[in-house]
Structures are given as C-alpha cells and as structure tokens.
Amino acid sequence: MTQVRTPCIGVCSTVFGGDVCRGCKRFSHEVIDWVGYSEEQKQAIDARLSYLLSQLVKARLEIVDEALLLAGLKAQNIRFHEYRNAYCWIFELLRAGASQVIPENYGFRVRSAYVGIPLTKHVEEIDQDFYTLSDAHFQRYVAEPLKSIDNG
C-alpha cells in the first residue's frame, strides 16, 4: 500500500472560511483532520483529487511518452506524487514552470483544440476548473446531505 503524501501546496485558503482550499482543493474538514485520517481515508481523498485533476488535464493535453515525462520530472527535481495519474504529473510540471516547458521535451503535446494557448494560461484555467469541480463536489456530496440532516 502506497503511503499518501499530503496534497497541501502551501496556499491554504480554508483559514478564511472557505469550504474548499484554493491550493490543494481538499474540503476544509479534510485539511483540518488530515493527520488523523487512516491511510484508506487519505487514499480516498487523493483518488478524488487525482481523478478530477487528471480529467481536466487530459481534456487539453495528451501524453505521448510517459517514460520521458517521468524522466523529465525527476531530472528537473519537480515535486510530484508518482503514485498519481501521469496527467497529474503534467500539471505539477506546468505549475512549477509552464513558461519554460517545451511539451515535446517532456513527452506530451497540446490537443488540437487548445493549440496556440500559452501553457501558463492552461495552468490557470485548469486550476480554476479544478476548484470549481471540487466545490461542486463539496456542495453536492457534503453540504446538501448535511442540510437534509439539519432539516430532518
């Protein structure tokens, strides 16, 4: 069993009362309770985050050589979670320095519908969409059931 590292990227917004952290996209209670969670609970949270992020990245970018991507991340000492989907690796690479990345050198390419958009813009838009999806997930699966309990 792979031990899940904290998804925290040091840009926590939950201290300001938000339901979803703008940095790591965990729910506020997950940020607060993280150290007390079992490995299975951490894996479930990480699986949700990885799934949402990988789908967003995959819509814009395509991996053509995963081994080259992995080698590039390691050569550049980019912090990433190797147990996550490789599309999450691309996001970590781009977050670390999108303006300096040449996709072909890292084994991925921009999908035709998104050619011409700077990689820095991709990072911004993916991050915003990731937040939006995480917030929607929170509202549907956490906030709504709590309202039902409170009104029950």
- What does the H/E/C string look like for the chain? CCCCCCCCCCCCCHHHCCCECCCCCCEHHHHHHHHHCCHHHHHHHHHHHHHHHHHHHHHHEEECCHHHHHHHHHHCCCCCCCCCCHHHHHHHHHHHHHHHCCHHHHCEEECHHHCCCCHHHHHHHHHHHHHHHHHHHHHHHHHHHHHHHHHC
For 45, phi then psi, to 5°, come to -65, -45
Band (pLDDT 50/70/90 cuts) for residue 93 is very high
Query: In this model, does residue 51 exceed pLDDT 90?
Result: yes
pLDDT for 119: 98
Task: Quickly count: other Cβ atoms within 10 Å of residue 138's Cβ.
Answer: 20
Higher pLDDT, 80 or 17: 80
For residues 7-18, average pLDDT: 75
- Measured N-to-C along each axis, helices 66-75 and 86-97 cross at an angle, to the nearest 10 degrees, of 40
Mean pLDDT of all residues in the chain? 92
For residues 6 and 33, is the Cβ–Cβ distance under 8 A?
no
Closest CA to 106 of 93, 123, 115, 97: 93
Band (pLDDT 50/70/90 cuts) for residue 148 is low
Band (pLDDT 50/70/90 cuts) for residue 86 is very high
Percentage of the chain with pLDDT > 70?
Answer: 91
Kindly report the pTM of this predicted structure.
0.91
Higher pLDDT, 2 or 113: 113
pLDDT for 10: 81
Supply the Cα-derived Rg of the chain in whole angstroms.
17
pLDDT for 9: 87
Percentage of the chain with pLDDT > 90?
Answer: 82
Query: In this model, does residue 127 exceed pLDDT 70?
Result: yes
Domain locations along the chain: 14-144
